[in-house]
Amino acid sequence: MPKVILHKNGQAHVGEIKENGNLVVCAGIKTFPFPHLSYGCGMGRCGKCASIIINGAEHLGAPNWKEERKLGDHLAQGYRLACQLWLSHDLELSQDGIDPALSVMTPGTVK
C-alpha cells in the first residue's frame, strides 16, 4: 500500500491508502487523509485539492486535460490536483502555501 505524507497547516500527516487509491475518494469516505486534505468537487473543476508534489512525482501519470485547464503554468511548479491522482507508489505532497486563486471555480462551472 502506498504511504502518503501530507503537509498541511505546518504539520505532517502520514498514512497509507489502498493500491491505485485516490486521496479525495479516501477522504470522502472518511479514511486517510480525512480530515486533513482540502478538497471540493472531486472532478478537477474547483481546484480546492491543489497540492504541491514534494516526492514521488516520477510515479504519477502525466497531467490530464482537467489539470492542464485548472492549473496551467502552476504544473511547471509541481502543482497537481489530488482528485486526479491514482496512487500506486509512495507520495509526499503539501497543501501549505497553495496559490488561493486556484480554488476559484472556472467560469461556467457549477458550484
Q: Which of 19, 16, 20 is nearest to 32 (CA)?
A: 16
List the helix and strand counts (H, then E) for the chain.
Answer: 2, 7
Paired sense of beta strands 3-8 and 91-94, if any: parallel
Grid coordinates of 4:
502518503
What 3-state class would DSSP assign to 17?
Answer: coil
| Four-residue CA torsion sign, 78, 7, 55, 62 | negative
pLDDT tens for each residue of the chain, 111 residues long: 999 999 999 999 999 999 999 999 999 999 999 999 999 999 999 999 999 999 999 999 999 999 999 999 999 999 999 999 999 999 999 999 998 888 765 544 433
Domains and CATH numbers, the chain: 3-94 (3.10.20.30)
CA distance 111 to 5: 29
Strand partners, 87: 21
The conformation of residue 48, written as its DSSP 8-state character, comes to T
* Buried/exposed code over 58-79 (b: 16+ C-beta within 10 A; e: otherwise): eebeebeeebeebbeebeeeeb
